[in-house]
């Protein structure tokens, strides 16, 4: 064990490791990248994180940068949960639920960042509550990671993203100071700005950035669409009444501004009752018109899946309740609808209205009145069957998942995406969350082949160009990380990038926190970090693997 690892072990309650096997284990996340850290730390208390930050800050003051990457379940697909230097693994020990409030109109849960999202929701459900903005990876991801990525999920069209449920954060700054962020009034803001501490300096600088860049923030950054590219939360840090909250900057920052040590989130009421409808279509255009009609009913989930996904599943031998319908022809599109309103009368009314509207389209309908929920949910989780290629060396990585396209431009985008797939000689079936326009697409690549390595970043660039062309968000359900930062920032104006650079400088002047994430990188550096053996099999035990 080297001197730094030994020094940290002497001063932390948690464990510090520098052995090769442990470092290799934490060199991967859910992305196609691989970066081996120098040390892995499993902090037991918040004070451990503070000491790590303080140690790295003191080294940086002497000219030596030891990067810190805070990590939860490691499910991140943008390469934001890996890095050189120190990996701070919150999943091991900082995984406690501190307090749950069940008071009417003041329902919340107070947790440490390493709490597993699904485990927390299972606990909340047993008491009649839920965090409805959960990511697809909830079974193997952490609350801290979801907040740091401002993760979206299958219900985000109705309930918003994880960050919208945050009430308060406790964070460790780059120098090791511990602060709490929540909305404060103008008087308290002035007190914060008067502090002769790093916290006071941050408040002064962020307020100054807002004051000096009001037009840029209003014209180019403020956006009603879900978007996590850069630090768009700057647009809601300061309200018109002068109140101020740094939390929107930390949410979605992917550990580049501060490290989250505790989180307080609002919860909602939960009901087990739900009405599910699956509709199959031979004509995808009819399916999309039908989805527009369904959106008006405000379901909790409204998703449209390209039939190619089911054609692939059928070739794998998979059978669904509608499979006989498509024995001699390809599937066109499949629509999945879920109503989970706690009011039984309202839920049944919506279901009845939905069936009436659907009867006007050329479709076959399957409902939870006639089929089990398990049979219907298996349909929307088709990704569990097809996302691991049966051909040696091939994989279906999440390199362009999670963009969002406005409803008015969606038809054009879908047509252009098909043209792009033909250009790159790949299949690119789309899975669309219709309510918020978030689109998932998985190309099949062989990262052992030089041409496919090159194609990876060319495809990301071309796809992001399409997203920008149609006024979409390039990082809707998570942050851009290091994998898509170059492609995303190519479509941002210099004054916009300058605001983001100033924010990073205010929080992390020495560049300690997750360097390379939410920053432009040299293409050769990214190509060198590609993991040819990428596979989602590490998370296969938590099927679905999407």
Across the range 327-345, mean pLDDT stands at 91
Q: Where are the alpha helices (DSSP H) in 373-530?
A: 373-380, 383-386, 410-423, 450-469, 485-489, 494-507, 523-529
pLDDT score at 541: 67
pLDDT score at 330: 83
Percent residues over pLDDT 70 in the chain:
98
Across the range 349-360, mean pLDDT stands at 97
pLDDT score at 339: 97
- Band the pLDDT of 389: cuts 50, 70, 90: low
Peptide bond into 544 cis (omega under 30): yes
Residue 384 has pLDDT above 90, yes or no: no
Sheet of 259-266, strands arranged across: 97-103, 106-111, 259-266, 166-172, 178-181
pLDDT score at 535: 78
Give the Cα separation of 364 and 466 in Å (integer).
33
What pLDDT, in 10s, does the model give residues 201-257?
999 999 999 999 999 999 999 976 789 999 999 999 999 999 999 999 999 999 999
What is the CA angle 53-77-318, rounded to 5? 150
Boundaries of every domain in the chain: 97-269, 275-367
What pLDDT, in 10s, does the model give residues 493-514?
999 999 999 999 999 999 999 9
Residue 544 has pLDDT above 60, yes or no: no
- Band the pLDDT of 2: cuts 50, 70, 90: confident
pLDDT score at 265: 98
Q: Where are the alpha helices (DSSP H) in 365-449?
A: 373-380, 383-386, 410-423
pLDDT score at 103: 86
pLDDT score at 543: 61
What pLDDT, in 10s, does the model give residues 455-482?
999 999 999 999 999 999 999 999 999 9
What pLDDT, in 10s, does the model give residues 14-59?
999 999 999 999 999 999 999 999 999 999 999 999 999 999 999 9
CATH architecture of the domain with range 275-367 = 2-Layer Sandwich (3.30)
Residue 545 has pLDDT above 60, yes or no: no
Domain 97-269 CATH (choose: 3.30.465.10, 3.20.20.100, 3.20.20.70, 3.40.640.10): 3.30.465.10
Residue 387 has pLDDT above 80, yes or no: no
Across the range 72-77, mean pLDDT stands at 93
pLDDT score at 385: 82
Contact yes or no for 24/36 (Cβ under 8 A): yes
Give the Cα separation of 240 and 63 in Å (integer).
41
Contact yes or no for 342/271 (Cβ under 8 A): yes
Across the range 284-300, mean pLDDT stands at 96
Smallest CA-to-CA distance from 480 within 78, 31, 77 is with: 78
Could you tell me how many helices (H) and strands (E) the chain has, helices first?
A: 20, 20
């Amino acid at each position: 064990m080297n001197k730094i690892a030994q020094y940290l072990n002497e001063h932390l309650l948690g464990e510090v490791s520098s052995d090769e096997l442990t470092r290799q284990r934490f060199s991967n996340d859910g992305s196609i990248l691989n970066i081996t850290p120098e040390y892995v730390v499993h902090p037991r208390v918040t004070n451990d994180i503070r000491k790590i930050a303080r140690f790295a800050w003191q080294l940086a003051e002497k000219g030596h940068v030891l990067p810190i990457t805070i990590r939860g379940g490691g499910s991140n697909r943008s390469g934001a949960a890996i890095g050189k230097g120190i990996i701070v693994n919150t999943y091991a020990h900082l995984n406690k639920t501190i307090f749950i409030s069940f008071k009417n109109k003041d329902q919340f849960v107070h947790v440490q960042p390493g709490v597993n999202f699904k485990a927390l929701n299972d606990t909340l459900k047993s008491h009649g509550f839920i965090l409805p903005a959960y990511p697809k990876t909830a079974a193997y991801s952490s609350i801290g990671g979801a907040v740091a990525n401002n993760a979206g999920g299958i219900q985000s069209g109705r309930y918003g993203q994880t960050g919208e449920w945050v009430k308060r954060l406790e964070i460790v700054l780059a120098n090791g100071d511990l602060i709490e962020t929540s909305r404060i009034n103008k008087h308290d803001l002035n007190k914060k700005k008067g502090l002769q501490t790093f916290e006071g300096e941050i408040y002064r600088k962020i307020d100054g950035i807002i004051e000096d860049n009001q037009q840029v923030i209003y014209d180019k950054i403020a956006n009603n669409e879900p978007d996590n590219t850069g630090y768009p939360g700057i647009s809601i840090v300061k309200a018109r009444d002068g109140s101020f909250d740094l939390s929107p900057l930390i949410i979605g920052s992917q550990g580049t501004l501060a490290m989250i040590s505790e989180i307080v989130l609002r919860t909602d009421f939960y009901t087990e009752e739900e009405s599910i409808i699956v509709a199959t279509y031979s004509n995808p255009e009819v399916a999309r018109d039908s989805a527009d009609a369904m959106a008006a009913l405000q379901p909790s989930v409204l998703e449209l899946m390209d039939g190619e996904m089911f054609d692939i599943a059928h070739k794998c031998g998979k059978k669904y309740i509608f499979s006989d319908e498509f024995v001699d022809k390809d599937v066109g599109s499949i629509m999945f609808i879920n109503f989970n309103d706690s009011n039984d009368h309202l839920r049944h009314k919506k279901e009845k209205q939905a069936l009436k509207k659907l009867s006007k389209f050329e479709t076959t309908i399957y409902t939870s009145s006639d089929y089990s929920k398990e049979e219907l949910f298996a349909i929307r989780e088709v990704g569990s069957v097809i996302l691991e290629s049966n051909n040696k060396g091939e994989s279906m990585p999440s390199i362009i998942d999670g963009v969002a396209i406005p409803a008015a431009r969606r038809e054009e985008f879908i047509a252009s995406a098909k043209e792009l797939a033909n250009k790159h000689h790949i299949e690119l079936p789309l899975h669309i969350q219709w309510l918020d326009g978030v689109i998932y697409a998985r190309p099949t690549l062989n990262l052992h082949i030089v041409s496919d390595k090159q194609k990876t970043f060319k495809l990301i660039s071309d796809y992001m160009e399409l997203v920008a062309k149609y006024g979409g968000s390039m990082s809707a359900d998570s942050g851009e990380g290091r994998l898509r930062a170059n492609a995303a920032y190519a479509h941002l104006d210099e004054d916009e990038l300058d605001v983001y650079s100033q924010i990073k400088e205010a929080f992390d002047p020495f560049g300690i926190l997750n360097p390379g994430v939410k920053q432009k990188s040299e293409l050769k550096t990214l190509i060198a970090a590609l993991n040819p053996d990428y596979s989602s099999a590490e998370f296969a035990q938590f099927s679905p693997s999407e």
